[in-house]
């Protein structure tokens, strides 16, 4: 979920013709599928080449706050660029930058899952995709605009960040309940972002829309995987 508003002279997709709206939605989800596949391919290549182990070892030795801070900066920059870029090429550049950042940040978690909880990655990926598909169907069928969740989600993520920082500084462990709450927040973000795709994005911002959806899918996958690993 992004706080940036689309910067475009194009009309919101809700005011487009039925055919134009369908084309926008198709392009958005096609780009989302491409982003997910690209992420998976990059991770596979990192692990097959042996780079994943090197990245994981180096990142596990660094304070998580530094990693999280860098990831947030890259995510903010990519989201800002994709929403404000005038050209589709620049929007794609922002999307690939974000995919690259996600691919790196996921390496330590995937590395530990592969070595200490075999099979959990596949299970978490399946649950994430099924959950995302289910939430998407809800957003498409109930005909309710879920963007009203925006303020609630922002406060929820702010509180989560405070807890993450506090746990890192003071050394306490956030258990299963935290992962469950974050999964709920990620699910809310999927509903929120899907509603933005259906009602609020300008017609020329399908790449930015796919970046926002990909961000929510990645967040959902992160905490589903974290939850599954905690049960092993």
Tens digits of per-residue pLDDT, 185-220? 889 989 988 988 888 888 888 888 899 899 889 989
Domains contained in the chain, number: 1
Tell me which residue range forms the domain holding 56.
13-230
Residues 6+ positions from 102 with CB-CB distance below 8 Å: 39, 214, 218
Task: From residue 218, give the alpha-carbon distance in Å to each of 3, 55, 212, 213.
Answer: 17, 19, 10, 9
pLDDT higher than threshold 60 for residue 7:
no
Q: Domain for residue 1, yes or no? A: no
144 found inside a domain: yes
Residue 6 falls within a domain, yes or no?
Answer: no
Q: Is residue 121 in a domain?
A: yes
End-to-end CA distance of the chain: 30
Token reading at 131: 């959950």
All residues at 6 or more sequence positions from 222 whose CB lies less than 8 Å from its CB, including other chains: 106, 109
Percent of the chain with pLDDT strictly greater than 70: 83
Give me the pLDDT at residue 64, please. 63
Query: Could you tell me the CA-to-CA distances from 52 to 21, 44, 45, 165, 183 in Å, in that order?
Result: 40, 9, 9, 26, 26
Q: Is residue 3 part of a domain?
A: no
Q: Is residue 59 part of a domain?
A: yes
The answer as to whether 214 is a domain residue is yes
Say which residue the tokens 């709206």 belong to.
21
Q: What residue has token string 């780009």?
A: 31
Give the burial string for 103-112 (b: 16+ CB within 10 Å, else e): bbbbbbbbbe
Report if residue 48 sits inside a domain.
yes
């Amino acid at each position: 979920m992004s706080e940036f508003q689309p910067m475009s002279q194009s009309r919101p997709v809700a005011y487009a013709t039925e055919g134009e709206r369908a084309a926008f939605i198709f392009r958005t989800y096609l780009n989302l599928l491409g982003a997910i596949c690209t992420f998976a391919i990059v991770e596979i290549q990192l692990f097959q080449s042996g780079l994943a182990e090197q990245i994981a070892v180096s990142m596990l030795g660094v304070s998580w706050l530094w990693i999280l801070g860098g990831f947030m900066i890259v995510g903010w920059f990519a989201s800002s660029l994709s929403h404000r870029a005038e050209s589709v090429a620049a929007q794609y550049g922002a999307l690939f930058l974000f995919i690259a950042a996600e691919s790196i940040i996921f390496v330590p978690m995937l590395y530990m899952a592969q070595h200490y909880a075999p099979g959990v990655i596949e299970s978490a990926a399946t649950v994430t995709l099924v959950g995302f598909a289910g939430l998407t169907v809800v957003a498409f069928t109930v005909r309710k605009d879920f963007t009203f969740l925006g303020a609630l989600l922002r406060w929820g993520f702010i509180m989560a960040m405070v807890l993450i920082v506090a746990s890192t500084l003071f050394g306490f462990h956030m258990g299963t309940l935290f992962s469950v709450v974050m999964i709920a927040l990620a699910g809310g973000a999927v509903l929120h972002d899907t509603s933005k795709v259906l009602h609020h994005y300008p017609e020329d911002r399908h790449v930015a829309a796919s970046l926002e959806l990909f961000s929510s899918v990645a967040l959902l996958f992160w905490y589903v995987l974290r939850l599954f690993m905690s049960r092993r």
